[in-house]
Structure 1
Amino acid sequence: MAAPLLQTQIDINAPAAKVWALISDFRRMPQWSPQCRWMRPLGPLRPGTRTINVNRRNRLFWPTSCTVLEVVPEKKLAFRVDSNRSIWSYELEPNGEGTRVIESRHAENGVSAFSNLTVNAFLGGTTSFEHELLEGMNASLAKIKAAAES
């Protein structure tokens, strides 16, 4: 069973506007995420916009689609992975001269049975895969930090 919440955060020495420009550009998601290889929005960034994505883990590739749920410029971006119903979000908070970014994967209502089956059959089981997701979230935030602070 999926953990209800996976979450990590980082403090970035850059204004929220600069950080927002990086995370809200879905085409750049492959630069940050170790798993995402391609992400394309099907319209402007607003609630209801869908994206088409390709993810990769080792030699395994799989397509996904997402639906944007919330867009609050320089504060919050959230989208649902349509195939498993998990919700991913980035929240930006002022932190002194910079910005704290909190990345979350919400699965408070669980994930789809198909997702559970796939994770258990092909991705090493829920515990292992969620550990890998947390590592990926930390790696993503570190790359966003490096880009924002450069």
Structure 2
Amino acid sequence: MSEAAAAAVGTELKATITIDATPAQVWALVSDVKRMSEWSPQVVRSVVLGGPVKRGTRFLNVNQQGWKRWPTTAKVVRFTPHTDFAFRITENRSVWSFQLEPTPEGGTLVTHRRETPDGISAVSKVLTATVLGGQKSFVPELLEGMSQTLERVKAEAEQN
């Protein structure tokens, strides 16, 4: 059974988990863009453009759903060490984030979000409807992927 709790509230998708590791340890994992394919079941590969990841850094992703693969580009829009890491996907305008809060027990509460503050692009809506099975099936798939991402981060953080 999944330890992560996930839900859709309006257009926001959110998953949370508590990890028995410090915010610094969890931050080192979730902000390591090159390793995103180890955490997310949708990401095949991420390539950082330029030097170290920071606010403004751009990167490329190759994503997948079954046999289907597609590229996306992203830009880091929030970068507050040990607290908040977020990036915007250019093609659909969504913002994906990891927010970290210390727990009284010395662990970290992690909230993984997908927000669409500027809506979803028309191109993305059409592609989701025609290629990815439509919002009705794609949203639960994204939520499950977010939970899997957090569970994989938890497993890695707690083994170290």
The answer on 1:21 being equivalent to 2:28 is yes
Match of 1:12 among 15, 19, 24: 19
Partner of 1:138: 147
Give the residue type in structure 2 aligned to 1:39: S
Give how far 1:46 is off: 1.5
Work out the CA distance in 1 between the residues paired with 2:56 and 2:100. Answer: 21
Match of 1:71 among 61, 79, 86: 79
The CA deviation string for residues 32-65 of structure 1, in whole angstroms up to 9 with x for no partner, is 0000000011122112111011001111010000
Q: Report the secondary structure of 1:111's partner residue.
A: coil
Partner of 1:60: 68
Q: Extract unaligned runs of 5+ from structure 1.
A: none
Q: How does 1:28-47 map to 2 (within 5 A)?
A: 28-43=35-50, 44-47=52-55
The CA deviation string for residues 90-117 of structure 1, in whole angstroms up to 9 with x for no partner, is 0000112100000000013310000000
Q: Report the secondary structure of 1:51's partner residue.
A: strand
Work out the CA distance in 1 between the residues paired with 2:125 and 2:23. Answer: 36
TM-score (norm 2): 0.90
Moved over 2 A (4+): none
Are the aligned partners of 1:4 and 1:109 in contact in 2 as well (CA < 8 Å)? no
TM-score (norm 1): 0.96
- CA-based RMSD of the aligned residues comes to 0.8
The count of aligned residue pairs is 148
Q: Extract unaligned runs of 5+ from structure 2.
A: 1-9
Q: Report the secondary structure of 2:17's partner residue.
A: strand
